[in-house]
Chain A
C-alpha cells in the first residue's frame, strides 16, 4: 500500500484543509440531526400521553443513527488532528464527561420507558428523557463555544453558545415533528418552533456582540471576515425563511431551513477555527495535522465510505418518510 500512497506529500496540497472541512461537516451533521432529536426530547415535556407516543414514533428509528455523527466527528478529529482531540477533551474534562453521561440518559430513558406499561415508571423515564435532551445540547454548546472562542467554560460566549444551541435544537425538532404530523400537534410545533427561532436569533446577536466587545483570543477580526459574515447572513436568511415557511404551513421546507441554520452555526464556528484550530493554545491546522501517509490513507479508505453513509441516511429517512405511524390515529 505504501507504493500506492505517497508517503511524504499529501495527495493534494489542501488535504489538511479538506479534512478540517470533513471534521466540520461531521459536526454540522451531528448538530442538525441529533439536534432534532434533542428538540423532540425537549418538546416532549409539553405534550400529553398520546402525543408523546407520536413523538417517540418519530424519534425511535432515527436517533441512534443520528447520534453516531458525534462519534464520526470525534474519531475524524482524532484521525486527522490528534493534538486537538487530546487538548479539547482533556481541557474540558468535566464538561466532556457530563456530555457523554447526558447522552446516556437521553438514549436509555425512552428505550426503558417502552418496556413497561406502568404510569409511574413511564413518568420517571419521561423526566430523564427530557432532562437528558435539554442538558446535553446545552453542555455541548458550551463546549463548542469554549473551543471556538478559546474561553473558559463559565464565560459569556460559551454560555450564550449553549443557550443558542438549545434554541436551535427546539427549532429543528419542532420543524421535523410538524413535517411528519398534522392538526393540533403540528400547530403547537409551529408556535414553539417560531418562539425558539426568535430566541435563537436574539442569542446569536448577543453572542456576536459579546464576542466582538470582549474580543477573546482576538476573534474580532475573524468575526468581520467574509466567511463569518457569510455564516451570519445565512443564519438570518434561513431563520427568516423558516419563520415564513412555518407560518405558511410549508413544514418540510421549514425543516430544510432548520437544517440550514445548523450548518450556518457550525459554519460560523469553522470560520473562527480556521486556520487556528485550537485558539486556546494557538495550534494551527498545519501544525496539528497528521503526517501525509496517515492522512492519505484516511482519505482513500474514509472519504468513499462517508459518501456511502450519506446514502444510508437517505435510505433510512426515505423508509420512514411521510406521516409518523399513528400520528393521525
Chain B
C-alpha cells in the first residue's frame, strides 16, 4: 500500500485531471482545516470564561490591583479570540450546506434544531453580553458588569453543549427513523430526548469542556510563568500561576481517569474506531500499546504490529473493551470493507494520551512546589510550564481527530457515508480553489492572533517595568540562558 493510500483509505484523492483534488477529498480537508482553526478559538472562549468571571468578580469585589491587571489582560485575549471564533464559526455551519448538502438534507431534522438552539440560546447571549463586558464598564453597575461576565461564559458553555449534541448524534445516532422524502432517504425525528442525549453526549461534553479548560489553563500558566520569570515578585502573575496550577491539579487527573472510561464506551459503541485507535487488524485478543515507536517510515503511515517497536500489555485492549476479560475477542479492521485512515487515528490517539499523562505530571510537580510555597523559585518549573503552554491545544486537537477521523468513512455512524454527503454539483476547481483560499486566509488569521498575543505580552512587560518602549536588547529565552 502506498503512503498516501494508507492515509486516506477508500477516498479518491485527485480529480480526473490528476492536478486538482477531488471534490470529496477537498471538502473533507477543507472542513478538517477550518474546524481545526475554529476549535482553537472556541476552546479559548470555553476555557477562559471561568477565569474571566473569577477575575472580574475579584476585581469588582476587592481593591486588589492584581485582579484588575489580570482581568484587563485576559479580557483582551478573550475579545480577540471571540471575534476570531465568530468569524471562523460561521463557515462551519455554512459548509454543511455548501460542501455536504446531503448531510444537511438527510439529518436536518436531527441537527437543525440543536444548531438553531445554539445560535438563539448561546451565541446571542455570548455576543450581546461580551459587548457589555468589553465596552460597558462605565455604563452599567458593578453587579450588571459581573453578571455580564457570567452570561458571556454561560453562552460559551451552552454553545459547546448544543454543538456536541450534534456531534454526539453523528457518533451514536438515536431517536430517528429513515423515511423517503423528495426522492431521498432522510432521517425523521421520532424521539427528541433520545436524539439529543445520545449515549455519547455526556462522555463528549465532559471530555471536551475539561480539555478546553486544560488547554487554556496551560496557556495561562505558560504566560504567567513567563511574566514571573521576568519579574519574580509580580503579584498578579504569581497569583495567576498559582491558580493555574490548582486548576490543573483538578482537571488533568480527571481527564486521564475520564478518558480511560470513555475509551471503553467507544469500544462498545464504535468498535471500528476503537480498532483504528489501536491499529488492531486481526479479530481476536487485543493488546494495549503503551508506547509505539515506528521502525520505518512506512510504519508512520501504515502502523502494524510488525512494523512498530511497541511496549504492550498483552490482552489489556481486550480487557478495556470488554470491561474485565483479558482474552475477549476484539473485532479487527480486516472485518470492514472501508476503514478510517488508521495512521492518523493511531498516532493522534497516542499523542493525546501521552500528553494527558504529561499534564498529570506537571500538575503533581507544581502541586508539590505549591505545597512547599516555592512555586516561583524554580526556574526549571517555570521553563517547563512555558514550553508546555501550547501542548494542551495539541492534545485537544489530536483528541478531536481521533473522534472525527476515527468515525470515517461515516459522517453519521452507520447511517450516511461522508462520500455520499458531498455535493454532486461541486467541481474539483471550485473545491480545490476554496480550500487553498481557506488555508491562506486562516494562516494569516493565526499569524495575526499570534502577533496580537505577542503585542499584549510586550505591553504587559512595559507596564511591569521590565521592558521599555525603546528596549532593543531582546531578552534571551529562559531555556537558552539557564538561570536556575
Taken residue by residue from 294 to 329, chain A's Cβ proximity to chain B (1 for < 8 Å, 0 otherwise) reads as 100110011001100100110110011000010000
Bound state CA distance, A25 and B16, in angstroms?
44
Docked-complex contact A108 and B448, CB < 8 angstroms: yes
User: Shortest Cβ distance from B112 into chain A, in angstroms?
Assistant: 3
Docked-complex contact B117 and A302, CB < 8 angstroms: yes
Taken residue by residue from 427 to 441, chain B's Cβ proximity to chain A (1 for < 8 Å, 0 otherwise) reads as 000100110011001
Interface centre among B91, B128, B433 (most CB of A within 10 A): B128
A45 at the A/B interface (Cβ < 8 Å)? no
Taken residue by residue from 59 to 74, chain A's Cβ proximity to chain B (1 for < 8 Å, 0 otherwise) reads as 0111011011011101
Docked-complex contact B124 and A301, CB < 8 angstroms: no
When distances are taken between beta carbons in the complex, the residues of chain A under 8 Å from B434 are 93-94, 97
Docked-complex contact A291 and B80, CB < 8 angstroms: no
Given A79-B112, A108-B445, A301-B113, the answer on whether A70 and B90 have CB atoms closer than 8 Å is yes
Query: Size band of the B side of the interface?
Result: 35 or more
Bound state CA distance, A85 and B96, in angstroms?
9
Docked-complex contact A78 and B448, CB < 8 angstroms: no
A287 at the A/B interface (Cβ < 8 Å)? yes
User: Shortest Cβ distance from B3 into chain A, in angstroms?
Assistant: 30
Docked-complex contact B192 and A90, CB < 8 angstroms: no
Bound state CA distance, A75 and B110, in angstroms?
12
B278 at the A/B interface (Cβ < 8 Å)? no
Given A90-B425, A115-B80, A297-B189, the answer on whether A82 and B105 have CB atoms closer than 8 Å is yes
A293 at the A/B interface (Cβ < 8 Å)? yes
Q: Which of A87, A107, A319 contacts B132 (CB 8 A)?
A: A319
Interface centre among A78, A83, A305 (most CB of B within 10 A): A78
A151 at the A/B interface (Cβ < 8 Å)? no
User: Shortest Cβ distance from A275 into chain B, in angstroms?
Assistant: 15
When distances are taken between beta carbons in the complex, the residues of chain B under 8 Å from A297 are 113, 189, 192
B94 at the A/B interface (Cβ < 8 Å)? yes
Interface size on A, residues (CB 8 A): 64
When distances are taken between beta carbons in the complex, the residues of chain B under 8 Å from A90 are 97-99, 101, 423, 425-426
Interface centre among A75, A88, A112, A287 (most CB of B within 10 A): A75
Docked-complex contact A316 and B115, CB < 8 angstroms: no
Bound state CA distance, A222 and B452, in angstroms?
52
Docked-complex contact A104 and B135, CB < 8 angstroms: no
User: Shortest Cβ distance from A1 into chain B, in angstroms?
Assistant: 5
Bound state CA distance, A101 and B94, in angstroms?
11
User: Shortest Cβ distance from A249 into chain B, in angstroms?
Assistant: 26
Docked-complex contact B104 and A97, CB < 8 angstroms: no
A103 at the A/B interface (Cβ < 8 Å)? yes
Bound state CA distance, A86 and B103, in angstroms?
8
Bound state CA distance, A100 and B94, in angstroms?
8
Docked-complex contact A108 and B84, CB < 8 angstroms: yes
Q: Which of B79, B89, B102 contacts A86 (CB 8 A)?
A: B102
Q: Which of A1, A108, A287, A312 contacts B83 (CB 8 A)?
A: A108
Given A61-B135, A83-B105, the answer on whether A103 and B93 have CB atoms closer than 8 Å is no
A96 at the A/B interface (Cβ < 8 Å)? yes
Beyond contacts A97-B434, A287-B182: 11 other A-B pairs, Cβ-Cβ < 8 A, are A1-B193, A61-B135, A74-B119, A75-B115, A79-B115, A82-B108, A82-B109, A97-B437, A291-B188, A312-B125, A319-B139
Which residues of A are in contact with B by a Cβ distance under 8 Å? 1-2, 5, 7, 60-62, 64-65, 67-68, 70-72, 74-76, 78-80, 82-83, 85-91, 93-94, 96-97, 100-101, 103-104, 107-108, 111-112, 115-116, 283, 287-288, 290-291, 293-294, 297-298, 301-302, 305-306, 309, 312-313, 315-316, 319-320, 325
Which residues of B are in contact with A by a Cβ distance under 8 Å? 79-80, 82-84, 86-91, 93-94, 96-99, 101-102, 104-105, 107-113, 115-121, 123-125, 127-132, 134-136, 139-140, 182, 186, 188-193, 423, 425-426, 430, 433-434, 437-438, 441, 445, 448, 451-452, 455-456
- Cβ-closest 6 pairs across A and B: A82-B108, A89-B97, A79-B112, A86-B101, A90-B101, A61-B131
List 20 interface pairs A-B (beta carbons < 8 Å), by A numbering.
Answer: A2-B192, A62-B131, A67-B86, A68-B119, A78-B112, A82-B105, A89-B96, A90-B423, A93-B98, A93-B434, A96-B98, A97-B434, A97-B437, A101-B91, A104-B90, A104-B91, A108-B87, A294-B113, A297-B189, A305-B117
